[in-house]
Structure 1
Amino acid sequence: MDVAAARNLFVNSDRSLAARIRLKRWDMMLALMPDLPKMKILDLGGTREWWLRAPIQPPHVTVVNLDIDEQQGRITAIRGDACKADQLFGDERFDLVFSNSLIEHVGGHHSFSQLAEVTRKMAPRYLVQTPYRYFPIEPHWLFPGMQFMPMALRVKTAEWWPLGHTWGWPQEQTFGEVLSTQLLTATEMKRYFPDAKIHWERFMGLPKSMIAIR
């Protein structure tokens, strides 16, 4: 199998393994929070495109992301730091704070704590998903045990492994991406979201990611 076919099979198409897992995650989230499609949502770290392709279309979603083109509408995009999102809205509040695979990228304990505080502050309910550190395959690069490797080996793997999202990136950019990805444990998630219940997303029976819900 060539690289293009492998990427289409695992990550790069609407029928890929990654796409099917995302759809199953939506099924799980909707089962846990059936009124989610009716809510006014603040998405920390998402994109407009992700919501446009989502199987649900809430009446209004505001997305905050450092790397986004600002746009108004039913899905409003605002360029900003999700860890400081409370500074962008004054007294405005939302029905739900939603965050999918962001917290592991914000950069260590101080930023984890900031993001968790903003999440709890901006809405009475929240849904925060993040990959589980001890799932045997690192989810961003789809490489077994990569999260446990020494940093230099992680960077080399990220450079050459064709299923990773950094395949083909410049070396310095790849290094930054690896350095800024820190998967969390269940103990850490419970520490940052003590008022939430942790639900497990599983793959082949193994805990793959955590969803903290209040």
Structure 2
Amino acid sequence: MKIERLLDLKPSTTPLELLEIGCGAGGIAHYFATHPTLPCRVTAVDVNDNRRVSDGYTYHTVQGVELPFGEERFDAVISNHVIEHVGDETAQLRHLMEIRRVLKEGGVAYLAAPNRWMVTEPHYQLRFLSWLPRQWRSPYLRLRGKGKFYDCEPPQLHELENMLDMAGMAYRNLCIEGWRETFAIERPHHWSNHLLQQLPDALLRPLKPIIPTLIYRLERDAA
């Protein structure tokens, strides 16, 4: 799995304490809870219980972005396409601060979010939806017959990194690595995957602000 590879998770003498925020159908939580070589004790939370796979891990329904756990509880935290759903910038910052609070010193977190400047919005499959000013997005959604209210706030790269700084997180941008991993997993024999794997980072780095998915490896900032 891409998340496991990007975080470089390794087995230890004790099970890895892992939290998934916004588990959705439960696939990621189940994957880590039943991993054959990486022992994990998995906890998952969401605001609504929409799980299709529920065995192997502990689940809690939560309200808002606050997490019902003590400080420095988890070795690893996963927030996969969640932050755009939690609300405005204040709520998004609180989400990041909660990740930092429950993450152990020396622990790692995975954060992924759709980039505002993605061409096709992934939730509604509409081109340029998130490019529009906020007040125009819901009317455009209704005009195209895709829904009534656009409830997402996809961040731009610099906005997300500013919030990470404010939350006290040390971070590494993994957009290029994540892009390559996605193609390797989903299109292993396609020519586009072979091309992407061969292109040097120096050519891909200027594309970071417009890569469709923003991906980060996070740690508690020691400063």
The TM-score normalised by the length of structure 1 is 0.67
Q: Report percent identity of matched pairs.
A: 20
CA distance in 2, matches of 1:100, 1:36: 20
CA distance in 2, matches of 1:109, 1:152: 16
Of the two structures, which has the highest relative contact order with CA contacts closer than 8 Å and spacing of 6 or more?
A: 2
Tell me the CA shift for residue 122 of structure 1: 0.8
Query: After superposition, what is the alpha-carbon deviation per residue over 1:38-73, rounded to whole angstroms, capped at 9, x for unaligned?
Result: 632111111353236648835222111110179986
Report the CA distance shift for 1:36/1:98 in structure 2 as closer, same or farther (over 3 A): farther
* Structure 2 residues not aligned, in runs of 5+: 184-191, 197-209, 219-223
Name the residue aligned to 1:207: 211
Matched, 1:74 2:51: no
* Structure 1 residues not aligned, in runs of 5+: 1-25
Q: How does 1:7-156 map to 2 (within 5 A)?
A: 26-27=1-2, 29-35=3-9, 39-47=16-24, 49-51=26-28, 54=31, 57-58=34-35, 59-68=40-49, 74-81=56-63, 83-85=65-67, 88-90=68-70, 93-123=73-103, 124-149=107-132, 154-155=137-138
The TM-score normalised by the length of structure 2 is 0.65
Query: After superposition, what is the alpha-carbon deviation per residue over 1:183-212, rounded to whole angstroms, capped at 9, x for unaligned?
Result: 101111211223111111447776111111
State how many pairs are aligned: 174
Name the residue aligned to 1:3: none
Name the residue aligned to 1:198: 173
CA RMSD across the alignment: 3.2
CA distance in 1, matches of 2:88, 2:163: 12
The letter for the 2-side match of 1:75 is Y
